[in-house]
Amino acid sequence: MDVSQEYFKTFRDLPREDWFVCGHRACQGCGEAIAVRLILKALGPNTIVVSPTGCLEIISSPFPYTSWAVPWIHVAFENAAAVASGVEAGLKVLARKGLLEKRKTNVLVLAGDGGTVDIGLQSLSGALERGHNFLYVCLDNEAYMNTGIQRSGATPFMCWTTTSQVGKVKRGNLTWKKNMPAIVAAHRVPYVATATVAYPLDLANKAKRGAEMEGPAYLHVLASCPTGWRLPPELSVEISRLAVQTGFFPLYEIVDGELRVTVEIPKRKPVAEYLKPQGRFRHLTDEDIAKIQEQVDRECARLGIP
Amino acid sequence: MGKRIAVEDSHAAALAAKMANVDVIAAYPITPQTHIVEELSRMVSDGEFDAEYINVESEHSAISACIGASAVGARCFTATAGQGLALMHEILFIAAGNRFPIVMAVANRCLSPNINIWGDQSDVMSSRDCGWIQIFAENAQEIFDLLLSAFKISEDDRVLLPVAVNFDGFYATHVVERMDLPEEEEVRRFLPPHRTAKYKLDPDRPLTFGAIGFPTIQFELRRQWEEALCNSKQVIKEVWQEFGRVFGRHYDVLEPYRMEDAEIAFILMGGSCGTCRVAVDRLRERGFKAGMIKLRLFRPFPKEEILEATSKLKTLITVDKHICLGGLGGPLFNDLRALFYGFQRQINVAGFIAGVGGRDVRVKDFEQMFEKVVKGEVSPEKHIFIVRGES
Ligand SMILES: Cc1ncc(C[n+]2csc(CCOP(=O)(O)OP(=O)(O)O)c2C)c(N)n1
Ligand code: SF4
Ligand SMILES: [Mg+2]
């Protein structure tokens, strides 16, 4: 396949229909909800979705209602990749035995960062290593939002959360964000990419490319969360754009080990522009911001971003 | 007709999965279950039957993958023991409560600490309330037969619950026994080659599985689950009757031994039943009216059948291979006392714990239990008598 194929050049190329439908209970401006809607537009109805426990599951499935117009299953918090392994293996063997129509059905995992980089890391690693044909999307809002904004392994340095409080002795999260795309890429899977809702066509194309790829594909989406980031909902998309433009969250894809930056940022904005509007970084001093800027510069240099 | 073979008990379990024509196997090695998954891996690698063998990285993922595969309509099998079953614990409930047909072989093993690979029932009893159908097998033939019928039970539209078939680690996994292996075409008369799943993950008919249940609905869902589990007993009996018609081997929820005029009887599950039968024979020779009830179905608990089978007894001796720590003895003892109390039955229940951590339960241990009861050394206030046996 052509790995750089642009399936969606304009918004008109995306279907009008939705398979993640309105009526769900996400907060206003929820990046997860926007991303999921786009991803399902990109993949279409021939898709089976697996979600672990988390905001997405809670907001979309208040029994007896559902926002899912595609088949959807939630089992537990730490095992979405294992459940998806079973779905994929089941479809494969049933088709081989002639019990299912032979057609391409996308197996799609839509998981939070906690369900991916922390408690679900083992089952994800196992599934990646076994080479199941699925697209795993991490909707990274950088904390356990569903349970009330506790830190995760994806929470940024010095970020406030309810379990990395800003006090007299400690000031926010003490560790740097886990580099999950690199961890996935180390499994030598055919496709790894990052995306945000501020670049929706980039996001939709990456989802589609990942789904079309033979073998495991991984998409890491920075999913803005106005509630947990202490941000006005109307800035949700804008902040996602700033994350990219400051180099805080670069957009790239790794195809068969080759990394390519997909949204070039000729001149990066200072990282302070991304941090300042967010209440979760309110306590940062100029010194703290300089430290974060240094780290961002280092990461960008590593990716070849000027 | 099939053929009579000598088979390692573990391989009898693997043969059952193969003859059931399972679509997906997801399992993780743990002693004393390992020979089952090794044999299945060999069978799949040799092309003896067509299945996806998922080499999961844990038991937690094994049962999770089975749920995924079951949800798309595949027939799935897994096997585990001890720590593996404990690691599955969270997901066991979900498999049952969301009504996924799955069949699991459990080679019962003592739960840590101390790390101990030998057989007792602490693993299965610690997942007693997970809402699965729980069956106990005694030997290779039963392991094969009960696993084969487990698929039919589990997939029945009136049931749609996972089934665990338990058997003693080592005592009923690493021994070679005689077994009648049916012909493929005989098996097909009993169990269709594939599942027909009414509810599944199907893009042509999208369904939502595993939704959040608010307090306004959760209670009802839990009650339906309990009803489905209790009602499954009838289907289990039907399936075993049909099994008897096809294969000539007859199973029921319990199996009495020399119970006609018995006054004091044992009740237990699993491999020690064979030893207990010998003890009953010896006690009979010594002039005692001894008997035994082998409990084959543990969940749903066959209340009516137990009440009937014990109606003329003076004393029932329960033999548990697990201690409900800090509670009132063993699980069977607790269930039976509760049952009889509810029906105001004047019957003594003498609770014994034996065989913990793989300790052999010998004929003379059963005789010793019996003698203690006869001598009146067992009083209702005491609820726990540990038979240490010999190491
Ligand atoms: C085994 C287990 N531990 C903890 C929880 C509680 N829990 C549910 S969702 C969640 C956090 C989800 O965070 P994330 O995956 O980042 O998704 P988000 O809600 O942020 O979208 C936690 C801690 C659980 N359901 N299961
Ligand atoms: S808390 Fe955040 S992630 Fe959860 S629904 Fe609200 S905005 Fe979305
Ligand atoms: Mg999160």
The domains of chain A, with CATH numbers, are 11-303 (3.40.50.970)
Average pLDDT, whole number, for chain B? 96
Residues of A in contact with B61 (CB under 8 A): 79, 81-82, 85, 122-123, 126-127
pLDDT of residue B174: 97
Cβ of A32 closer than 6 Å to ligand 2, yes or no, is yes
CA B149/CA B182 separation, integer angstroms? 13
pLDDT of residue B382: 63
Mutating which of B24, B72, B214 best tests the A interface, going by the most A Cβ atoms within 10 A? B72
Using CA atoms, how far residue B125 sits from A17, B98, B299, B322, in Å, is 50, 21, 11, 7
- The closest alpha carbon to B203, from A43, A140, A186, A214, belongs to A43
β A47-51/A72-74 pair status: parallel
Sequence ranges of the domains in chain B: 3-247, 254-385
Q: Which helix (H) or strand (E) holds B165?
A: strand B163-168
> What are A153's two structure tokens?
């392994």
pLDDT of residue B328: 87
Judge whether A120 and A80 are in contact, CB under 8 Å.
Answer: yes
Judge whether A245 and A52 are in contact, CB under 8 Å.
Answer: no
CA B43/CA A28 separation, integer angstroms? 54
pLDDT of residue B390: 63
- Residue B362 identity (one-letter amino acid): R
Q: Which backbone phi and psi does A95 adopt, to 5 degrees?
A: -65, -40
The pTM of the full predicted model, rounded to 2 decimals, is: 0.97
CB atoms within 5 A of ion ligand 3 belong to A 112-113, 141, 145
3-state secondary structure of B385: strand
pLDDT of residue B379: 72
3-state secondary structure of A23: coil
Q: Which atom of ligand 2 is nearest to the CA of A27?
A: 6
> Once rounded to an integer, what is the mean pLDDT over residues A175-191?
97
pLDDT of residue B380: 64
Determine the length of chain A: 306
pLDDT of residue B384: 66
Q: What sections of B257-329 are H helices per DSSP?
A: 272-285, 303-309
CA A28/CA B228 separation, integer angstroms? 41
Which residue's alpha carbon is at the smallest distance from atom 11 of ligand 1? A144
> What are A288's two structure tokens?
């703290």
3-state secondary structure of B48: coil
Mutating which of B77, B196, B209, B222 best tests the A interface, going by the most A Cβ atoms within 10 A? B209
> What are B380's two structure tokens?
């209702």
* Residue A109: burial class (beta carbons within 10 Å; 0-12, 13-18, 19+): buried
The alpha carbon of B312 is separated from its chain's Cα centroid by a whole number of angstroms, namely 27
pLDDT of residue A11: 95
pLDDT of residue B76: 98
> Once rounded to an integer, what is the mean pLDDT over residues A203-226?
98
* Residue A259: burial class (beta carbons within 10 Å; 0-12, 13-18, 19+): middle
Residues A94-149 have pLDDT tens digits of 999 999 998 999 999 999 999 999 999 999 999 999 999 999 999 999 999 999 99
Using CA atoms, how far residue B249 sits from A16, A20, B194, B293, in Å, is 60, 52, 23, 18
- The closest alpha carbon to B158, from B202, B198, B209, B205, belongs to B198
| Residue with token string 């291979």 | B321
Answer yes or no: is pLDDT of A186 > 60: yes
- Residue A49 identity (one-letter amino acid): V
pLDDT of residue B383: 58
pLDDT of residue B119: 95
CA B383/CA B374 separation, integer angstroms? 16
Judge whether B69 and B43 are in contact, CB under 8 Å.
Answer: no
* Residue B132: burial class (beta carbons within 10 Å; 0-12, 13-18, 19+): buried
Which residue's alpha carbon is at the smallest distance from atom 4 of ligand 2? A55
Of B56, B91, B210, the CB nearest to A73: B210
Do B58 and A123 count as a contact with CB atoms less than 8 A apart?
yes
Q: Report percent pLDDT > 90 for chain A.
A: 97
pLDDT of residue A304: 92
CA A209/CA B298 separation, integer angstroms? 50
CA A185/CA A183 separation, integer angstroms? 5
Mutate to test the pocket of ligand 1, among A56, A74, A146 (most ligand atoms within 8 A of CB): A146
Using CA atoms, how far residue B266 sits from A255, B253, B318, B349, in Å, is 66, 16, 6, 10
Judge whether B363 and B278 are in contact, CB under 8 Å.
Answer: yes
Mutating which of B61, B66, B93 best tests the A interface, going by the most A Cβ atoms within 10 A? B61
Using CA atoms, how far residue B207 sits from A47, A107, A119, B186, in Å, is 12, 15, 27, 36
- The closest alpha carbon to A82, from B70, B384, B259, belongs to B70
Of B68, B73, B203, the CB nearest to A85: B68
Question: Under CATH, what is the fold of the domain B3-247?
Answer: Rossmann fold (3.40.50)
Do A79 and B61 count as a contact with CB atoms less than 8 A apart?
yes
CA B253/CA B306 separation, integer angstroms? 9
- Residue B30 identity (one-letter amino acid): I
Partners of A4 in the β-ladder: none
CA B374/CA B376 separation, integer angstroms? 5
Residues of B in contact with A94 (CB under 8 A): 23, 72-74
| Residue with token string 């292996």 | B181
> Once rounded to an integer, what is the mean pLDDT over residues A54-82?
97
Using CA atoms, how far residue A81 sits from A123, B42, B224, in Å, is 6, 26, 29
CA A236/CA B365 separation, integer angstroms? 72
Kindly provide the residue ranges of all beta strands, DSSP E only, lying in chain A, ordered along the sequence: 47-51, 72-74, 106-112, 135-140, 191-196, 217-222, 252-255, 258-261
**CATH code 3.40.50.920 for B254-385:** yes
Which residue's alpha carbon is at the smallest distance from atom 9 of ligand 1? A54
Strand arrangement of the beta sheet that strand B133-136 belongs to: B52-54, B24-26, B76-80, B103-108, B163-168, B133-136, B297-299
> Once rounded to an integer, what is the mean pLDDT over residues A183-188?
98
Along chain B (391 residues), what's the average pLDDT of each consecutive run of 10 residues? 94 98 98 98 98 98 98 98 98 98 98 96 97 98 98 98 97 97 97 96 98 95 98 98 98 98 98 97 98 98 97 96 92 95 88 94 95 87 67 51
Residues B1-36 have pLDDT tens digits of 689 999 999 999 999 999 999 999 999 999 999 999
Judge whether A126 and B57 are in contact, CB under 8 Å.
Answer: yes
b/e burial code for range B314-325 (CB count within 10 A of at least 16 → b): ebbbbbbbbbbe
The DSSP secondary structure of A154-214, one letter per residue, reads TPPTT--BTTB-B-SS-BS--SPPP-HHHHHHTTT-SEEEEEETTSHHHHHHHHHHHHHSS
